Structure 1
Amino acid sequence: MIAVIADDFTGAAELAGISLRYGLQVKLYTGIASYEACDVCIVSSDSRSMSRADALEVTRNIVVALQELNPSFIYKKIDSVLRGYVFDEISVQMQLTGKQRAIILPANPSLGRKIISGQYYINEQLITDTAFADDPEFPVKSALVKEMISKDGKGVDVLSRGQDKWKQIISIAEASTIEDMDHWVGLIESAWLLAGAGDFFERLLAASFAERFSDDPAILLPHLYVCGTTAQTSQRLVEQIDQGSGNVIYLHHTDLARDPFSFTDAQFAKIQDIVYSGGKLLLAVGHTADLTPQYIRESMAGVVQHLQQQLHFREIFIEGGSTAAAILKRLQLSSFDIANESQRGVVRMKAGDLYITVKPGSYAVPQSIKDLYLTKPYNQQS
């Protein structure tokens, strides 16, 4: 059995989708749970949305719990652009598992995310010249990967192909192609802790298993789309949907700051009209001055819980890992069966009678969701 600890829910779901693609039986959990025997056991710690102290504590508890399953190895899924408490969490995992070295491959060449000469590039552009520089919780202020993972660059070195001397016990490996990823996979030793993003995990599986693909099933109605990301591409899509269909409800400062939350009669009447007439509703964040990202996602989770109790959506599509984790916690969902991988990082899962699809904020919205909200009519599914 392979075990995975991911620091956010969409990252956990991404690896669940990859595992399913390689024909493996996979289960996805949030936090400590009664883990079932399977080929790949994936646990989302949601540590990226916590304080450093809480992040290390939850990481410690999950590592201890997973070790009881005696996995062949525990993969540490991190953010591909090294946001969060990557260095500290890897250090804790090394201490508990007795690993002698850690190799980190955060690059995702298949998505245009590369590490060259110690610097991080996204589609040939330094990461500091992209929207990641303005991330509300972990702004990227340096393109040097040593400084991205450790403020002073200490305690970690960068490895390039052909380099066989490690200066530190924790190393980031450069990669700009899938061939680079396979090079590092071929060097792995059992005494190493393996950490990285989706491409590294995918190449680890590709070394032992064959890919299998499945078609996307029909989307069920009524459907709720929750946009919990500030990514510009998603924001533009929300605006396009709002202008084209009017199926969008924006939640502003005055809405989210209402405690306890409740819609006004006029707001809920509009929501009911949208859902009953077309079976689909998009929730987006509007003007939220002075509200922290944590407060916004927790408030959005409360809104979704309120709507689900009233309108009983059959499917929910969520953008943003921290937003997804907050919503699933409010809905008291912690164990998921994986239904299908719509595209890389976009994974549909089932909890009880509810289907949930999640997507990292920086990944593309799948065409099926665009079609649902922009063009194609979908009939109510039985």
Structure 2
Amino acid sequence: MIKLLVIADDFTGALDTGVQFKAKQTLIQIASEKCIESLKISDHNLQVLIVDAETRHMTAQDAYQTVYQIVQTAVEAGVPCIYKKTDSGLRGNIGSELTAALNASGNKQLHFIPAFPLINRITVNGIHYIDGKPVAQSVFGKDPFEPVQSSKVKEIIYSQSPVHTHLMGSTVPDVLPQGILVYDSAKDEDLQQIAQTLKLRGELNLLAGCAGFASVLPDLLDLDRIEPQFPPIPQKLLVICGSINPITLRQLDEAQRAGAPRIQLTPEQKLDDRWLTSPDGLQITAEWMAQLKDAPLANHFA
């Protein structure tokens, strides 16, 4: 029986949330938005369904409609807890997606806990910080595709939605206002305290946050533990990376220092869609394959 539906806005978000549940030996399944019928799966061991809605780069209106339909389907299927997974750097259609989840659920409140203290992404007084910097001044504020333009969570939501949004601090009040409730978290203990209070108050049916708050959900929802079944791991691994995020680039640098061969495409190779099938492209890719043939790990920076 599905006890929890997680709605992520991209595949990476679906995976980094899924890891939180696999670490607690909870059976999960990751599906695409087009496979939302997975809510009707008859596997009684399946407790967590994670849907990759692919809304990160949609328009705000399209993202709203997509999330609304998924949440509506989940409510009709009787899923007791819905978690709208957000980016830990607050990129994407935060306001429209949270509003869609709230409206489709029929709830009066959505509890939004955006922090991930374990990786130094915290929320204090409604301002989101990345490694000590307000998020708009961090690497996420310099993102070439979707820069975060405000560090105030409330402003980020209001940029896409008129729904009432309230800053709650790090505690759950006795009287809950209607709308989106944003919570501070500067350490893991804050996440735990908020989680336990919400459980005692019976407020677990509509939540939002990144993988940080998702990490407390397995214990919070009393999910059953099942002995994990590990998939076969290939002897060789090729990593293809198209990100220019400084964090990702540091990861590639570290892999290269550890001995992984690294191939970097030139601007011409990236931008000319005829290059790959040209004589030059065929020759160079053949040389790459020969280079990688005996490598246990390969990084390919696209």
Q: 1:237 to 1:25 in 2, by over 3 A?
A: closer
Q: Retained in 1: the 8 A contact 2:81–2:204?
A: no
- The residue aligned with 1:223 is 237
Shift of 1:71: 1.3
**Aligned with 1:238 (options 252, 255, 259):** 252
Q: Deviations over 1:182-239 (max 9, x none)?
A: 2221232348521111121221222325889989999523321112222224324435
| Cα displacement (A) at 1:261 | 6.7
Q: Does 1:270 align with 2:280?
A: no
1:258 equivalenced with 2:272 (yes/no) = yes
> How many residues end up aligned between the 2 structures?
285
Shift in CA distance, 141/239, structure 1 to aligned 2, threshold 3 Å: same
**CA shift digits 1:20-42 (9 cap, x unpaired):** 22222111112221413411111
Deviation at 1:6, TM superposition (A): 0.8
| Equivalent residue, structure 2, for 1:89 | 97
**1:187 aligns to 2:200 (yes or no):** no
- Relative distance call for 1:54 and 1:153 in structure 2 (3 A) is closer
- Report if the CA contact (8 A) 1:32-1:65 is conserved: no
Where structure 2 has 5 or more consecutive residues not aligned to the other structure, the ranges are none
Q: Deviations over 1:260-295 (max 9, x none)?
A: 67341222211221222325432213xxxxxxxxxx
How far apart, CA to CA, are the structure 2 residues paired with 1:202 and 1:246?
Answer: 31
Alpha-carbon distance in structure 2 between the residues aligned to 1:215 and 1:233: 31
Deviation at 1:162, TM superposition (A): 4.8
SS of residue paired to 1:104: strand
Q: Under a length normalisation based on structure 1, what TM-score does the superposition of the two structures give?
A: 0.66
If the length of structure 2 is used for normalisation, what is the TM-score?
0.81
- Residues 90 and 62 of structure 1: is their aligned pair in 2 closer, same or farther, counting only changes over 3 Å? same
Q: C-alpha distance in 2, partners of 1:142/1:12?
A: 25
Residue of structure 2 equivalent to 1:156: 165
RMSD, aligned α-carbons: 3.0
**Higher alpha-carbon deviation: 157-166 or 89-98:** 157-166
1:119 is displaced (CA, Å) by 1.5
CA displacement at 1:134 relative to structure 2: 0.1
Distance in 2 of aligned mates of 1:31 and 1:56: 13
Alignment of 1:221-370 (within 5 A): 221-239=235-253, 247-259=261-273, 262-263=276-277, 264-278=281-295, 280-285=297-302
Q: How big is each residue's C-alpha offset from its partner over 1:125-173, in whole Å with a ceiling of 9 and x where there is no partner?
A: 3323321110122212322221233239963121114562555511111
Deviations 1:271-324 (A, max 9, x none): 221222325432213xxxxxxxxxxxxxxxxxxxxxxxxxxxxxxxxxxxxxxx
**2:43 pairs with 1:41:** no
Please identify, of 4-13 and 60-69, the stretch whose mean Cα deviation from structure 2 is larger: 60-69
| CA deviation string 1:34-64 (max 9, x = no partner) | 4134111110101012222332232233224
Choose which of 71, 91, 95 in structure 2 pairs with 1:63. Answer: 71
SS state of the match for residue 97, structure 2?
A: helix
Stretches of structure 1 that go unaligned for 5 or more consecutive residues are: 286-382
